[in-house]
Structure 1
């Protein structure tokens, strides 16, 4: 780090005045030099100029006038006056620079004090808000303790009510998901080929059932589940979404009326059913198991809803959740 030879402060290399004799660097402002003035290569600082021994220039007209000892004294006095004037100018420039720096420092200190005051006020507000929160928490804790002392079973009732609300919300979400599948079908045991066209296969199956169906009537058709090589050769079920609900209902009626027509030439029977949500599919599986165990004759789905009936002329039950299974089939279900 380079310091100025006059004021002793930090000095940047750009724009500095360097003495050719002693090599000391100075602020231009400290020497009262213009900022953009170009200095000679042999420029000397005031100290080096003062220490330079003067030569005898008696041939110059000015030197010839003062060639006596008095003239030499007058020259020395003029040089001393010039040196004193330069020192005074240098001191004035240093004082002016120090004053500007002090003003900047004072403004920064004032800004810092202002920021500290604002921070202190914010901390006081935060402390007051924390105190109010602590008071409210203490009040809530006391009220909870009082409620627990008055009715120990109150918390259990609240938990039961909350569980009942959650179950109702789950059933409502399941119903909404099922409504989104009202134009979908699931086709099981349809022979699978690697190069098959799912749209064409669905149209051919509908033609066998007597329902005219074109590829534009099928929104999408794709296989889902494990591949035959992973499922022991069993073909994957096909999920089909039709453009209209009426087409789906017509295909379902035709599939119920012509079950024998769904049998492949040399393979198992093809099944066409409504597409159910995962929750309804699991529930329908349990309901069918209970119907087999109790020898109920009828178990079916209609528009995503699950129904069961023990026999002809008996009551029809709708099951929406697993809680309905013991209600319909008994407590041992």
Structure 2
């Protein structure tokens, strides 16, 4: 077939020999219609020029059907002589002839490649997320079980605390009752303190001599028991106290009242060791109720508190401790240390 003298793109005549000839359809094109400059054309090799095919022929041989309607350049292009050539360099030959179909194919291939690369990673991520969800679910169930167990333990602890409070109250009540019973068992007892000790001493004679001095005679039949008590503090230098058990609480009260009356009537010559028939230095002697160890400690604390707050009177009556600040104030029954702590 004879080669035409017109450009297949703009349909204008070829005025020079610089044109591209398609090896398939034998059509020829202006360089300008192909967006090629003369320098770019000169850079082509002879082999590339002899094997060159136009876009129309290349689109016919590509997948996707006939693309003959895709123009190389609009047919309404102006005459060659009125076209201003661009001076900006064009891309190399490898980018010049990509059609929309080529670009879509390249994008499709890249997307498929990306899917092939990313899908395994997405599967791994999905598996990891699934495992994490299972782990979180397990820990959540364990946490709920721990919360339920903690609530049960808190309820049990609350019950135990209430029971403990009740038991402590019961123990305190029982202790108070036992203390009172112990003190009641001493209702006929008298404790005589600070009496000097001698190896050959006769305690019964001392007690009878004391009874004569305070004008409350005591016979042998009235004395059921008389002995020295062991020291609560072994390092103390005070002599051991004398425990006197009389025949009745009434006689004991009379003996205590007589001793108190003697001291009041004789403020300058209160009971001393000489009144008991003991020679040597005169030592003060104290006659009082026989208290339990707990009441003795409470009595000592009451005396200390009285000195601190300037209370004038501290006394014991039937195993109970009383305090009074002065003659006009009301008395205070000291039941325990809490009473002393609340004094002001």
Q: TM-score, normalised by structure 2?
A: 0.49
Confirm whether residue 181 of structure 1 aligns to residue 186 of structure 2. yes
In 1, the alpha carbon distance for the partners of 2:321 and 2:152 equals 43
Shift of 1:148: 4.2
Q: 1:213 aligns with which of 218, 235, 244?
A: 218
Q: 1:192 aligns with which of 192, 197, 204?
A: 197
Shift of 1:149: 4.7
Superposed CA deviations along residues 253-304 of structure 1, whole A, max 9, x for unmatched, are 1111112341234312111000000111111111111111111111111010
In 2, the alpha carbon distance for the partners of 1:207 and 1:151 equals 67
Q: 2:163 aligns with which of 129, 149, 158?
A: 158
1:284 corresponding residue in structure 2: 299
Name the CA shift for 1:153/1:211 in 2 (closer, same or farther; >3 Å). Answer: same
Name the CA shift for 1:144/1:254 in 2 (closer, same or farther; >3 Å). Answer: farther
2:250 corresponding residue in structure 1: 246
Shift of 1:323: 2.9
Confirm whether residue 222 of structure 1 aligns to residue 227 of structure 2. yes
Shift of 1:251: 1.1
2:340 corresponding residue in structure 1: 325
Q: 2:175 aligns with which of 170, 173, 191?
A: 170
2:318 corresponding residue in structure 1: 303
Q: Following TM superposition, where does structure 1 have runs of at least 4 consecutive aligned residues deviating by more than 6 angstroms? A: 143-146
In 2, the alpha carbon distance for the partners of 1:165 and 1:278 equals 21
Shift of 1:163: 1.4
Superposed CA deviations along residues 48-73 of structure 1, whole A, max 9, x for unmatched, are xxxxxxxxxxxxxxxxxxxxxxxxxx
SS at match of 1:313: coil
Superposed CA deviations along residues 12-71 of structure 1, whole A, max 9, x for unmatched, are xxxxxxxxxxxxxxxxxxxxxxxxxxxxxxxxxxxxxxxxxxxxxxxxxxxxxxxxxxxx
Q: Answer whether contact 1:171 1:321 (CA < 8 A) is retained.
A: no
1:256 corresponding residue in structure 2: 260
In 2, the alpha carbon distance for the partners of 1:225 and 1:244 equals 24
Shift of 1:151: 8.0
Confirm whether residue 235 of structure 1 aligns to residue 244 of structure 2. no
Mapping for residues 94-105 of structure 1, pairs under 5 Å? none
Shift of 1:171: 0.8
Moved more, 241-250 or 177-186: 241-250
| Greater radius of gyration (CA) | 2
In 2, the alpha carbon distance for the partners of 1:294 and 1:191 equals 33
In 2, the alpha carbon distance for the partners of 1:215 and 1:306 equals 31
In 1, the alpha carbon distance for the partners of 2:198 and 2:149 equals 66
Paired residues, what number?
185
In 2, the alpha carbon distance for the partners of 1:197 and 1:264 equals 14
Q: TM-score, normalised by structure 1?
A: 0.51
In 2, the alpha carbon distance for the partners of 1:288 and 1:257 equals 21
Stretches of structure 2 that go unaligned for 5 or more consecutive residues are 1-147, 264-268, 275-280
Shift of 1:159: 2.0
RMSD over aligned Cα atoms:
2.6
Shift of 1:212: 1.4
SS at match of 1:196: coil
1:313 corresponding residue in structure 2: 328
In 2, the alpha carbon distance for the partners of 1:197 and 1:144 equals 72
In 1, the alpha carbon distance for the partners of 2:291 and 2:197 equals 22
SS at match of 1:323: helix
In 1, the alpha carbon distance for the partners of 2:157 and 2:229 equals 52
1:293 corresponding residue in structure 2: 308
Stretches of structure 1 that go unaligned for 5 or more consecutive residues are 1-142
1:56 corresponding residue in structure 2: none
SS at match of 1:169: helix
Mapping for residues 260-279 of structure 1, pairs under 5 Å? 260-265=269-274, 266-279=281-294
